[in-house]
Amino acid sequence: MLTKEFQLINRQWFTDSRQVTGPVTDARSAEAVFFAIQGEHHDGHAFIGDLYRKGIRQFVVERSALTPERQHELATYPDAQFMEVESSLHMLQTLAAEHRRQFRIPIIGITGSNGKTIVKEWLAQLLEGSSSSDGFVVAKSPKSYNSQLGVPLSVHTLTESDTLGIFEAGISKAQEMQALEAVIRPTIGIFTNIGTAHDEGFRTRKQKIAEKLRLFIHANTLIYSVDYTDIDEEVNMLLKAINPDMRLITWSLTGQPATYQGSLQGNRLSLQEKQRDNRLVLSLPFTDPASLENLMHCIVTMLALRAWDTAELQSRLNRLRPVSMRLEQKEGINNCVLIDDSYNNDVVGLQLALRFLNQQRTRSRRVVILSDVLQSGQPEADLYQQVGEIIRAHDVEQFIGVGPVVSQNAHFFAANSQFYATTDEFLTRFLFSDLRDSTVLVKGARPFSFERIVHRLERKVHGTVLEINLDALTHNLNYYRERIARSEDAASRPSDTKLMVMVKAFAYGSGSAEVAQLLQYHRVDYLAVAYADEGVSLRQNGVDLPIMVMNPAPETFATLLEYKLEPELYSLRMLREWGSYIREQSRSVAGESAAGATGYPVHLKIDTGMHRLGFVESEIPTVADYLIHNPALRVATVFSHLVGADDAQFNTFTETQYACFIRNTTVLESALGYRPTRHLLNSAGIVRFPEYKLDMVRLGIGLYGVEAAQIDQAALQPVGTLRTVISQIKTVQAGESVGYSRRGVLDHDARIATLAIGYADGYDRRLGNGIGEVWVNGTRCPTVGNVCMDMTMIDVTAASASEGDEVIIFGPELPITGLAQRIGTIPYEILTGVSERVKRVFFKEGN
């Protein structure tokens, strides 16, 4: 066993959701080991077949996942090796701990409630060497990889050329830190702060602090602020007892006794070192409270490392840049999609971004614009050979290198690549009109100011944007998955109820293609749209999940077939029209037809009380008879829709609908001789009637962050933020009026701001005249006067507001539900009402 573990160490590891340590290039697939992990929400073992076909031959698999069917499947991959373990995650942690032990360099371990990632990124910026000054060769966690899985994958990236490691550790439950400590084994610890995040996983605040302190039980130095008195107490009570020789380096900005006492005036920080006559004055690039705290940790760490004098410290601080970890997807010029990742550029980050690029199969051509990779330590030729290989492995059609070093290494890239020595040269010489219909990844290290390239490539429309948080979407998806996996009977296995997601109406306003691609990535079972053309657009954007079309007009039948879209049949007329159409098709292409032995999948809708579309009970025998005589139609699913799943006053009616549904499906099943998938529940139903979940459920609004039953809203995250900008501000005297028809008469002298959003963008006209409120720099401001077609006026007298400032219409600060209530409508209408002219911007944080 141990020798096998050892063999795994120097290989490329990856798992399904995060491929951190190496791309699977053809050249490298022999080196790669896939760790299949059974997660709460999906099972990595499902990827084995795919990966085998891509050339991977080594797999770590979990014993409990080896059902007889799985074993049978694995036996069909003869030349693959499978290592069977109790827990793949545990195996990864053990291996990473082993890997870590080979290094005798300082390792900084960071934990705390907030700021871990920023402190890590800033420290890396501050400590790294550059062409003009000495420094460390730093290995660090990519983005915020700080979980039970993220930490081992991060630590595995340590190589012989590194001279310092910086890793963050995050926990959400008691007992988690021990495993992370063994993997990171920090020599220097930083405890950033303690807040309320994850309080629910712990009995008390003290317990949470105590658990986090476990990261430092073998460290020789710990850095923290005594201004957090609970941290200070626990360090002295607990940690000192376990690790008495540890050096504590503390700081305070409130005059508490500490190793460093600091005070800030303007942006000048003076630091007094205790017991020494040493006083240091530095000017800080950022002074807001959160940045100040993060900077204090960084400065004190630099002092603890004693690597530089004050002048060098200051010059490094001056080069510090804000950390934005957002990977943003934007609409570009010439029908391009931009992926903006101009925050860092190391090999690991590049791989993550390329994965994201490949996930977006929106446009056929993939283009990468990349700066020099500022990652010292590795010999230049090795580094660029690796970068070239990674680019090739991700099917990039066009590579553009910007920077002197990447240009010198042009021979590692495809022949059609282009190179520019500087960002300026690129901006002046590049033929922007050549860039069309492509997905473009823009990724550059800070000094290259790639935001200028993004700015040039971005399609500029008016200042109203709907931001879609893809992480929140994933979070909500997982919430519903977890709910449907719960079984009513605790003793039995989790249920295998399938998931259909409704992406009709432009995915409830959130942008169909992008949302559908994410859902495909997370392997939901089915998608549903209202009309054939919505389905066609998904197919054209690379979505190959089964898609149900709820309103399939006969004129679209050929389209349905061409794009493998599956119709919902809801009336005898539709059933017969579709039946004859399919019969004709199978005759005209006699032999192997779209229909044939397996039949073309259709979905039958039964009207159990909505009285909208669907077969009524009396028609079911006719339907059954028709299907018996038309075996070319295969009934994939049978479903119905609840009229009041969200409201307790309709519980009895819901029960009646369920009973009616079961009666009718039973009749159909016995006529058909097989059992189609049955589904009844929408989002509210999933929460309120889990006992009716049957074989599949249909998730709609919940995915977008609104819990329709209003029972568990706190468990969901808002997905969309609609924001706009202030175009103009003016002072208007009391007694004057604002806007059309003099409706907004002022009773006080007011500062009136005009916003770049109106009813044509989806800002409902009923929100005018003070009914609606928007969020301006932390203050709620009412509307004044009537909402116009493209503009709305608000009263910003109470807010601090300037022209050009951002204004939030709805989002985490202003829930959609509240907005809907104000005008007597439902969140569905607000979401789907955001007009298509409003630009959608998609982003992901961290992982």
Ligand X SMILES: *Cc1c(COP(=O)(O)O)cnc(C)c1O
Is there binding between residue 638 and ligand X (CB under 6 A)? no
Q: Provide the H-helix boundaries in 728-826.
A: 816-822
Task: Using the rule CB under 6 A, give the single segment among 220-228, 324-332, 663-671, 700-708 that binds ligand X.
Answer: 700-708
Which single residue is written with the structure tokens 């559908």? 516
Least distance from ligand X to the Cβ atom of residue 525, Å:
14
Which phi-psi region, left, alpha or beta, contains residue 580 (left: φ > 0; alpha: ψ -120 to 50)? alpha
3-state per-residue secondary structure call for 596-646: CCCCEEEEEEECCCCCCCCECHHHHHHHHHHHHHCCCEEEEEEECCCCCCC
Least distance from ligand X to the Cβ atom of residue 700, Å:
2
Is the CB of residue 660 less than 8 Å from the CB of residue 641? no
Residue 789 assigned as binding residue: yes
Task: Using the rule CB under 6 A, give the single segment among 106-114, 127-135, 337-345, 678-686 that binds ligand X.
Answer: 678-686
Give catalytic status of residue 208 as yes or no: no
Task: Using the rule CB under 6 A, give the single segment among 135-143, 514-522, 677-685, 712-720 that binds ligand X.
Answer: 677-685
Dist. CA 783–CA 743, nearest whole Å? 11
Q: Provide the H-helix boundaries in 28-135.
A: 48-53, 68-75, 88-100, 116-127
Tokens representing 431? 């033929």
| Choice between 317 and 699, CB closer to ligand X | 699
Least distance from ligand X to the Cβ atom of residue 684, Å:
6
Least distance from ligand X to the Cβ atom of residue 829, Å:
12
Which one of 110, 543, 701, 738 is in contact with ligand X (CB under 6 A)? 701
Is the CB of residue 799 less than 8 Å from the CB of residue 779? yes
Is there binding between residue 677 and ligand X (CB under 6 A)? no
Which one of 708, 755, 781, 791 is in contact with ligand X (CB under 6 A)? 708
Give catalytic status of residue 116 as yes or no: no
> Concatenated DSSP letters for 784-795?
ES---SS-EEEE
Dist. CA 367–CA 337, nearest whole Å? 10
Is there binding between residue 614 and ligand X (CB under 6 A)? no
Which one of 360, 682, 817, 832 is in contact with ligand X (CB under 6 A)? 682
Using DSSP's 3-state secondary structure scheme, residue 357 falls into helix
Least distance from ligand X to the Cβ atom of residue 650, Å:
14
Which one of 700, 762, 782, 827 is in contact with ligand X (CB under 6 A)? 700
Task: State how beta strands 806-810 and 773-776 pair.
Answer: antiparallel
Least distance from ligand X to the Cβ atom of residue 682, Å:
3
Dist. CA 320–CA 121, nearest whole Å? 10
Residue nearest to ligand X (CB): 700
Q: Provide the H-helix boundaries in 360-491.
A: 380-393, 404-408, 423-429, 451-457, 470-485
Is there binding between residue 678 and ligand X (CB under 6 A)? no
Q: How does DSSP classify residue 714?
A: G
Q: Which of residues 355-414 bind ligand X (CB under 6 A)?
A: none
Residue 272, C-beta contacts closer than 8 angstroms, at least 6 positions apart: 260, 261, 262, 278, 279
Task: Using the rule CB under 6 A, give the single segment among 266-274, 697-705, 720-728, 764-772 that binds ligand X.
Answer: 697-705
| Choice between 52 and 570, CB closer to ligand X | 570
Which single residue is written with the structure tokens 């690790």? 243
Q: Which of the residues 504, 605, 693, 844 is marked catalytic?
A: 504
Using DSSP's 3-state secondary structure scheme, residue 658 falls into helix
Least distance from ligand X to the Cβ atom of residue 832, Å:
10
Q: How does DSSP classify residue 752?
A: E
Least distance from ligand X to the Cβ atom of residue 696, Å:
11
Least distance from ligand X to the Cβ atom of residue 604, Å:
12
Q: With both helix axes pointing from N to C terminus, report the angle between 347-359 and 512-521 in degrees, rounded to the nearest 10.
A: 110
Is there binding between residue 665 and ligand X (CB under 6 A)? no
Residue 288, C-beta contacts closer than 8 angstroms, at least 6 positions apart: none
| Choice between 142 and 705, CB closer to ligand X | 705
Task: Using the rule CB under 6 A, give the single segment among 189-197, 236-244, 651-659, 680-688 that binds ligand X.
Answer: 680-688
With CB under 6 A as the rule, give the number of residues binding ligand X: 11
Q: Provide the H-helix boundaries in 101-145.
A: 116-127
Q: Count other Cβ atoms within 10 Å, centred on residue 255.
A: 10
| Choice between 326 and 475, CB closer to ligand X | 475
Task: Using the rule CB under 6 A, give the single segment among 159-167, 319-327, 698-706, 769-777 that binds ligand X.
Answer: 698-706
Site track 464-503 with ligand X (rule: CB under 6 A), x = hit: --------------------------------------x-
| Cα–Cα separations (whole angstroms), residue 362 to 129, 329, 336, 508 | 39, 11, 9, 19
Is there binding between residue 688 and ligand X (CB under 6 A)? no
Dist. CA 519–CA 478, nearest whole Å? 11
Is there binding between residue 797 and ligand X (CB under 6 A)? no
Which one of 371, 683, 754, 783 is in contact with ligand X (CB under 6 A)? 683
Helix (H) or strand (E) holding 569: strand 565-569
Is there binding between residue 609 and ligand X (CB under 6 A)? no
CA 490 from centre of chain: 31
Task: Using the rule CB under 6 A, give the single segment among 46-54, 113-121, 531-539, 695-703 that binds ligand X.
Answer: 695-703
| Choice between 497 and 683, CB closer to ligand X | 683
Least distance from ligand X to the Cβ atom of residue 828, Å:
7
Residue 50, C-beta contacts closer than 8 angstroms, at least 6 positions apart: none
Which one of 698, 839, 840, 844 is in contact with ligand X (CB under 6 A)? 698
Cα 460-466-469 angle, rounded to 5 deg: 120
Which one of 641, 693, 840, 844 is in contact with ligand X (CB under 6 A)? 641
Site track 562-601 with ligand X (rule: CB under 6 A), x = hit: ----------------------------------------
Is there binding between residue 830 and ligand X (CB under 6 A)? no
Q: Which of residues 501-540 bind ligand X (CB under 6 A)?
A: 502
Is there binding between residue 23 and ligand X (CB under 6 A)? no
One-letter amino acid for residue 347 of the chain = V
Q: Count other Cβ atoms within 10 Å, centred on residue 258.
A: 23
Residues annotated in a binding site for substrate: 612, 789
List residues near ligand X by CB under 6 A: 502, 641, 682-684, 698-702, 708
**Which residues are marked as active site?**
504, 740
